[in-house]
Structure 1
């Protein structure tokens, strides 16, 4: 399917991808920027999802590598979360492709609003509220379950998954927010990779849009991961709050204006 994307639209999409990569690396939620941008640009709903995965996989990879170089990624945990997320994302993306576009578009709007509201008003976890780290075997099992469930969500929908992963790793496994951000990127990269592969095989990735956005997403994610490593938990909390409040306001405006 040929979709007309002007040079100006492509430039604006790249700017959206740059911002998304920056905030997603720090606190998750980048998909809440890029998916609405792609839909607004006029892409059919399945193609918007496919193209979003085609560009976001590069951002999640850049952030994961930067966190790994800083020594924040739990490599033992990643051995179970990565394949679990791959499997979940394939299931979720396969289900998405079965949903008719006329059903999917209003569903996407409802999900975007619900996710944005949740992220905006959830209580930020404090260091003192985090549980003690789990024994290794139990942490592996819980981590695999988190990756499977949220990987499935990411394959089917996606926006907000990075923040959900941060919340899960922090509240359930006792990770600091900076370390939870790093472990979230392993899961996020796996789910993006699996989803992108399936969407590409089905021909719903618009590569002439996805690749320029990917370059912008990669740059933003690298900078965002660097800031997260330097700024730690306080920066993560501030960016999450600022981004999601702005998104709630934007989505509310879209709904009111139809």
Structure 2
């Protein structure tokens, strides 16, 4: 009972952060691994995805009700992410992601520095692409991040937010809304893989899902209330924590 309560609180906090800028895995994954430290990692990752997909979907629906979603970007990016996340999940069973583990802190550091230096980045919603060009960029980003999410995963939501701001000209709030939709596709693909292979603790996953949804609703409300400036600040905080966490994982623990 205590274990489920602990993970419920962690799932709520993860859902809140993830709804705004992504990065909920920073909270949820360490929590579930520490509580069930003798359970197979694949089963814990599958259970984590089960909880996350409901929270991310709830955030996506909430954003869609209040923010004008760029579906011409979100739809092709999501379809590409769905396919490539599944491919990435399959690939990781064949090739260990050691290279990405060591490279990730440097990529995140570059993202943080760029966002910090560009004070006006993501403050104005001014889409840069339309038509075929928009769809092509959406498919490219959906494929790249989808594969990354299935293959490795840390910081997927934050990467999506940054890319939609940097390459599409979205403000942080609109970018976060589109990122949630793409992230749902990634999570569904990964969940399909884990579910098919039997790596799920259904009762725990559903319990955490309820808490994750509650957290995501609170996070979405905060983002909508405080706007792009709030999302940008939280984005920098989450990316900074990701840099520390991934540096430890890549260069110290290993």
TM range (shorter): 0.7 to 0.9
Residue in structure 1 matching 2:156, options 154, 161, 167: 161
What displacement does 1:172 show?
0.4
For 2:65 and 2:183, locate their aligned partners in 1 and report how far apart those are by CA, in whole Å.
17
Structure 2 residue 77 is the aligned partner of structure 1 residue 81: yes
TM-score (norm 2): 0.85
Task: Please tell me whether the aligned partners of residues 12 and 215 of structure 2 are also in contact (alpha carbons under 8 angstroms).
Answer: yes
Shift of 1:109: 7.0
Cα 1:117/1:79, change in 2 over 3 Å: closer
Residue from 189, 201, 209 that aligns with 1:206 = 201
The one of 14, 22, 38 equivalent to 2:8 is 14
Q: Mean alpha-carbon deviation: is it higher for 28-37 or for 168-177?
A: 28-37
Distance in 2, matches of 1:30 and 1:24, equals 4
Query: Alignment RMSD, CA only?
Result: 2.8
Mapped contact 2:67–2:174 kept (Cα < 8 A): no
**Partner residue of 2:88 out of 82, 86, 92:** 92
Q: Is the 8 A contact 2:155 2:242 kept in 1?
A: no
Change (3 A) 1:11 1:118: farther
What displacement does 1:94 show? 1.3
1:137 and 2:132 are equivalent in the alignment: yes
Q: Is 1:35 paired with 2:29?
A: yes
Q: 1:67 aligns with which of 63, 66, 77?
A: 63
Within-5 A mapping of 1:44-55 = 44-55=40-51
2:173 aligned with 1:173: no
* Cα distance in 2, alignment partners of residues 225 and 152 from structure 1: 26
Distance of 1:250 and 1:81 partners within structure 2 = 28
Q: What is the Cα deviation at residue 123 of structure 1?
A: 2.8
The CA deviation at 1:112 is 7.7
1:73 is paired with a residue whose SS is: coil
CA contact (8 A) 1:115 1:160 kept: no
Question: Does 2:115 match 1:123?
Answer: yes
Cα 1:122–1:44 change in 2 (3 A) is farther
Work out which of the residue numbers 195, 211, 215 in structure 1 matches 2:210.
215
| Contact 1:127/1:176, CA 8 A, preserved across alignment | no
2: CA distance, partners of 1:216 / 1:152: 27
User: Corresponding residue for 1:242?
Assistant: 237
Equivalents in 2 of 1:170, 1:132: separation in Å?
A: 9
TM-score by length of 1: 0.84
Structure 2, unpaired ranges of 5+: none
Q: Which runs of 5+ in 1 are unaligned?
A: 1-6
Distance 1:197 1:152 in 2: 15
Taking a change above 3 Å as real, the CA distance of residues 257 and 127 of structure 1, as seen in their structure-2 partners, is closer
| Matched positions, count | 248
2:187 matches 1:192:
yes
- Assess, with a 3 A threshold, how the Cα gap between structure 1 residues 127 and 249 changes in structure 2: closer, same or farther: closer
